[in-house]
Structure 1
Amino acid sequence: MLVLALDTTLASCSAAVFDSAAGHMLAAEQQLMDKGHAEAIAPMVQRVLAKAGVRPGDLQRVAVTTGPGTFTGQRIGLALAHGMGVALGCEVVGLDTLTATAAPLLSRLSNLLVVHQAGATRKFYAARFANGVLASELLFDELDALIAGLGTTLHQVMGTGADAAVTLAPNVFKRIAGHDLPVAESFIAHSAAMSVQKGYPQPIYLREPDAKPSPGFQPETIRLAEAADLAALSALHRMCFEHGWSEESLKASLSLPGAMALTAERDGKIRAFLLVQQAADEAEIITLCTEPRWRRRALSERLLTAALDLLRHQKVRILHLEVAADNTAALALYGKLGFSINGRRTGYYERGAAAGVDAVMMSRAP
């Protein structure tokens, strides 16, 4: 099985290609970076595939780290992995950042703790491994609280928070040097042996949000679309537009370079979705639709807000869209979100026997 692995969750960006049948690493690359993952990962994937002599269509599996990690970094890797899964029809598996960090040493150490600093907070992400197996749930707490739960057993420790752990409890930890970040080359063999779960991997967040919803409120779930969503997306698009897209049309659109779809779920079903395509530092909304009976519930606004946030962190300079001049609700929403009109296309949208409706061209910086 030909496997591509990639990571963008912490202070590096990495990709690797592995032939699991032969047990041979075909190509790998890593770059240390605090920012710039969005610009680095796709060209890096192209380089390792070229070096390995592997075409994207030859891949049978893509493995990606799911966090915990930086908010933006997690989404960058997942968006690329999801997009490749949809376009190539290959398996996509996810593994948490702590397991990915530990992977090269799991078979060699009986007691291992991986500790990563949680950004600028005083808290840490941690996981304990015993005899090569995850022996605890993923943890998020202040370091002294994490250490208190370990007892006096000597643990070998690695990760971006390892030095702080050794300083606080030198009798409990033995520092392992040189393995502090998840690296695709180091965890790809582990990911090749993983079982495939239903659906595409989703980001892991251990920190609770600061804002709490009102009791009884069930917010929508905003997530990246998966291959299994194509039928639902097609049905929704045909419900909203006279010439709605088929599953094949949607699949073809999602296979375009830089394309991704965000969905809004309520009550377990997709009620709205947005398709956007990025090219260099510009992006365009290809389509946005909401199930008719779920309109005026801010689903489109939340999808647009999520897309703007993602594109902003991917260094997109400007986002374009087109909307029918008679779609007053959409025009009001785009205006509310800061889009400005910068042109018109006369008679662009057909209206049967009636005269065509102008397309209003709008844009804004994410």
Structure 2
Amino acid sequence: MLLLSIDSSAGASAALIRDGEPLQVWHTEETTSHAEVLAPAVQRLLAQAGVTGEDLDGVVVGVGPGPFTGLRVGLALAHALAEAWGKPLQGICSLDSLALRATDAGIDGEFLVATDARRREVYWAQYVSDDAGSRLQRGPFVAAASELPDLPAVGAGLRLYAQDLRAAELGEDPSVWVPHAAELGQLATGALAGELHGVMCQPRPLYLRESDAQVPRQMRPGGAT
């Protein structure tokens, strides 16, 4: 099984996953250049692997939560490529990437994934990890870090709100973690093989709150003229 995976929920990343293993990967931590760099990066990944879009079995995209503009870039690209190549498109919550990474790093029991939501808030979800892997318990939500449960956490929210969040004790610093397309592709492989359940979702953006950009009152139906 060969999948192309894309995520632009925090930074941007892309990966080719063959039978659950990364074949080619790319990422950038820049948050303002998704539209310029993501499509060329996907093109390079395919060329480096010596495959074309027609060789893929499907496309996977992280649906967020994430900032409006950046998240739209990855989703729009994934939809366009899947449509052009005639391939199925699946969505996965981007926070699941960090849950998988935490499980692989040896976390056990209940924990949080928290990423930067700006406006002095975090996007977060609660997971549990055991011998069967990591599973979502509740979320995702957006809230102030001080309102989250007192559980060990991973994700960039730690770096921003160290006074409110407790870092999971792992062999590496989880406060620099951001979602990556490679892990989403690995999760998708397991889901498509019937080994994981409840992972896939519709490939639609998971914003969790209203956009700052609003239609002016005079342009709304029934608005002032």
TM-score with structure 2 length normalisation? Answer: 0.79
- Counterpart of 1:80 in structure 2 is 77
- Counterpart of 1:24 in structure 2 is 21
- Counterpart of 1:161 in structure 2 is 157
Q: Do the aligned partners of 2:114 and 2:155 also contact (CA within 8 Å) in 1?
A: yes
Q: Secondary structure of 1:40's match?
A: helix
Q: What amino acid is aligned across from residue 124 of structure 2 in structure 1? A: A
Q: Secondary structure of 2:43's match?
A: helix
Alpha-carbon distance between aligned partners in 2 of 1:211 and 1:15, rounded to the nearest angstrom: 28
- The 5-angstrom pairing of residues 21-60 of structure 1 reads 23-60=20-57
- The 5-angstrom pairing of residues 321-336 of structure 1 reads none
Shifted more, 161-170 versus 183-192: the winner is: 161-170
Q: 1:32 Cα deviation (Å)?
A: 2.0
5+ residue gaps, structure 2, are 193-198, 215-219
Q: Do the aligned partners of 1:101 and 1:187 also contact (CA within 8 Å) in 2?
A: no
Q: Secondary structure of 2:138's match?
A: coil
Cα 1:202–1:34 shift into 2, 3 Å: same
Cα 1:52–1:209 shift into 2, 3 Å: closer
- The 5-angstrom pairing of residues 51-130 of structure 1 reads 51-106=48-103, 108-110=106-108, 111-119=110-118, 121-130=119-128
Question: Deviations 1:289-332 (Å, cap 9, x if unpaired)?
Answer: xxxxxxxx8xxxxxxxxxxxxxxxxxxxxxxxxxxxxxxxxxxx
Q: 1:211 Cα deviation (Å)?
A: 9.9
Q: 1:128 Cα deviation (Å)?
A: 1.0
Q: 1:103 Cα deviation (Å)?
A: 2.4
Q: What amino acid is aligned across from residue 2 of structure 1 in structure 2? A: L
**Aligned: 1:13 with 2:15:** no
Cα 1:127–1:38 shift into 2, 3 Å: same
Q: What amino acid is aligned across from residue 29 of structure 2 in structure 1? A: L
- The 5-angstrom pairing of residues 136-285 of structure 1 reads 136-146=138-148, 150-151=149-150, 155-170=151-166, 173-174=167-168, 177=173, 180-195=177-192, 201-208=203-210
Alpha-carbon distance between aligned partners in 2 of 1:168 and 1:70, rounded to the nearest angstrom: 22
Q: CA RMSD in A?
A: 2.7
Structure with greater contact order relative to length (CA < 8 Å, sep ≥ 6)? 2
Question: Deviations 1:237-257 (Å, cap 9, x if unpaired)?
Answer: xxxxxxxxxxxxxxxxxxxxx
Q: 1:175 Cα deviation (Å)?
A: 5.4
Q: 1:101 Cα deviation (Å)?
A: 2.6
Q: 1:190 Cα deviation (Å)?
A: 0.9
Cα 1:91–1:207 shift into 2, 3 Å: same
Q: 1:93 Cα deviation (Å)?
A: 1.0
Alpha-carbon distance between aligned partners in 1 of 2:209 and 2:138, rounded to the nearest angstrom: 17
Q: What amino acid is aligned across from residue 51 of structure 2 in structure 1? A: V
Shifted more, 91-100 versus 177-186: the winner is: 177-186
Cα 1:211–1:56 shift into 2, 3 Å: closer
Q: 1:106 Cα deviation (Å)?
A: 3.2
Alpha-carbon distance between aligned partners in 1 of 2:59 and 2:4, rounded to the nearest angstrom: 5
Q: When the two structures are aligned, how many residues end up with a matched partner?
A: 202
Q: What amino acid is aligned across from residue 168 of structure 2 in structure 1? A: K
Q: Do the aligned partners of 1:9 and 1:97 also contact (CA within 8 Å) in 2?
A: yes
Tell me which stretches of 4 or more aligned residues in structure 1 moved more than 6 Å. Answer: none
Q: 1:165 Cα deviation (Å)?
A: 4.4
Alpha-carbon distance between aligned partners in 1 of 2:182 and 2:48, rounded to the nearest angstrom: 14
Q: Do the aligned partners of 2:3 and 2:18 also contact (CA within 8 Å) in 1?
A: yes
Cα 1:39–1:109 shift into 2, 3 Å: same
Q: Do the aligned partners of 1:63 and 1:92 also contact (CA within 8 Å) in 2?
A: yes
Alpha-carbon distance between aligned partners in 1 of 2:212 and 2:38, rounded to the nearest angstrom: 31
